[in-house]
Each structure stands twice: as structure tokens, then as C-alpha cells.
Structure 1
């Protein structure tokens, strides 16, 4: 069993039965014991971030030690593609449907609406070229009113995005 409660740690603790949960078969007890700490840390980070409505929050994505983007399923996503995308209409329904659809795709790391041409800049991370083809043909090109898609593959990253300090940290980025 694992318990969720405020306060310190101890070998024995009196708890309300509603704060207990069964550890499923196959889950390491050491890992299960870290859940209350992880949940508390995540909650504190969200509280420090303030209201999140209307803000971009990255879910289920982490960067491995080798810089590879990994999804919540642990699949390494080392193939990054930059996409310029233009719609053939700019009415509210078309724009809203496009943005909502792409924003939900876990492969999409960044989605920017631009002034001028193209209409959007999209940064995606997938496992390989075959996964990108599947993403493009099954997820992007099925969205109505897409006029043009141009994919860019990086030859060399001359100046990578600087590392950001963790939320709540006082240290400055390098």
C-alpha cells in the first residue's frame, strides 16, 4: 500500500483509509513510494506557475540525457522537423479547428501562429522519417483547409535553444 498525506516521513503513520491506495502487481514498491513526493512536487510547481488557463503547458514530454525528446510512453523521438504551414482560409472556424487539432498532437512540441506568410510554424519530434511521414499524412494532411506544407530537416544546429532553469529555481540559465 502507499499513502498520500501531508507532513514528514516515518516507518509508521496513522492515516485515514481514504488516503491509501493498493500498489498494482508489477509496480516496484520503491517507485510507488515516490509517488506522494512526485505528486507534491508537481503540485507545488503548478502553484508557483500561477494560473495556467490560456498558457502553454508541455505534458508527457521530457528530454533524455542525449537530447532526444521522449514522449510519455518512453519512445525516443530523436527526429525533429520544422514545418511551415499555410491555410487556404482564415475564418475563425478553420483557424480554431486547425489549432485545436494540432495542439493535441503529442508529436507537436511548438505551434506558433505568425503574421505574414506562412500562417504557422510547427516544430515536431518523432522517432524517424517513417514516423514523420505517418504523422504528416495521418494527422496533419487530414485537417481541412490546409493549402501548403513545407518541411525543413536540420542539417546542423548552430545555436541550440538555451537550457532553461527549472520552475521555482533561482538559478539563471546558462
Structure 2
């Protein structure tokens, strides 16, 4: 898919707001026939623009009241240790997001836990046991201002 047009943008905006919207309702909202819309959505999926569909869940309502951004510093950039670190992070249920970035820290993790004690357990029993990890700095999230907002292409 070479470029998004206005219809594609409207489709994406509606789906990001409510991915459970019926094909007929979505077609009406963007001014297309249901069959043409279905083909357009399928093209967006095949092009990798739509990666997946899902529900946005409220962490505190699920008992996950502690949220932190963890800045991880590696011991050294040994490729095998990095692969092991990434594999471990990908399987950790507490780690919601992981970013490799430029700057002082090598990785930034968004972590959700029940409470401070569970977070301390995560640090001691998981993060600090990974051979690649030299240190970590925690920023506790006091309040979420903006989260999971639609991407406006």
C-alpha cells in the first residue's frame, strides 16, 4: 500500500476508537459500501498498517495499581546478553512495553504490578538476575495524563 488517503485515515480513526464497530456501521461512517470497506480494511491489514485488534484495559481495575518507567543500563553490549535480556523482557507479564533508545539508559520499560512489594519482587527476582543488567532507575508513575490514544495518520 503506497499511501493513505482520507478514507483510509477515517477508517483507521474509527477502528482505533472502537474496533468492535460492525462492518456495516463503519462503512456508513466513512461513506463506502460494506464490501468496498471490507476490501480496504483487508488491504490495511495486509500492508501491516493494522497490526492487531484488541481491548483497552484499565490496569487499576484489574488490581495493577503500581506503574513505573524503569530505565535499564546494561553491563556491556554483548550481543548474546542483549538477546537474552530481550527474550526475558518479552516473556515478563509485568513488562508492558520495552524501548531501546538513545541517551543515558539502554532500555526503558513500562512496568505494571499490584503494589510496591510486587514491584520490589520484580526487581529482585527478575530484573536484577538478568546478566546483562548493570543497574536500573525507577520513575514511579503518579498519574497517567495520556494513554492509548489513536494515531492520526
Q: Which range, TM-score by smaller chain?
A: 0.5 to 0.7
The answer to whether the 8 Å contact 2:82/2:132 transfers is no
Which structure has the larger Rg over C-alpha atoms?
A: 1
Runs of 4 or more consecutive aligned structure 1 residues displaced over 4 Å after TM superposition: 44-48, 56-59
Q: Aligned partners of 2:120, 2:135: CA distance in 1, in Å?
A: 16
| Aligned match for 1:63, one of 50, 57, 63 | 57
Matched, 1:160 2:146: yes
Cα deviation 1:5-58 (Å, max 9, x = unaligned): xxxxxxxxxxxxxxxxxxxxxxxxxxxxxxxxx9xxxxx999964487xxx879
Q: Aligned partners of 1:46, 1:76: CA distance in 2, in Å?
A: 36
Matched, 1:99 2:91: no
Change (3 A) 1:57 1:138: farther
Matches within 5 A, 1:102-121: 102-121=89-108
Cα deviation 1:83-136 (Å, max 9, x = unaligned): 000001102101111011011111111100112310010001111111111111
RMSD of aligned Cα (Å)? 3.4
Q: Aligned partners of 1:58, 1:80: CA distance in 2, in Å?
A: 24
Give the alignment's TM-score, normalised by structure 2: 0.60
The answer to whether the 8 Å contact 2:85/2:130 transfers is yes
Matches within 5 A, 1:1-174: 49-50=45-46, 62-64=56-58, 68=59, 75-157=62-144, 159-164=145-150
CA shift for structure 1 position 78: 2.0
The answer to whether the 8 Å contact 2:128/2:135 transfers is no
Give the alignment's TM-score, normalised by structure 1: 0.53
The answer to whether the 8 Å contact 1:69/1:125 transfers is no
**Structure ranking higher in helix proportion:** 2
Change (3 A) 1:160 1:62: closer
Q: SS where residue 130 of structure 2 aligns?
A: coil
Could you say which structure has the greater relative contact order, defined with CA pairs below 8 angstroms and 6 or more residues apart?
2
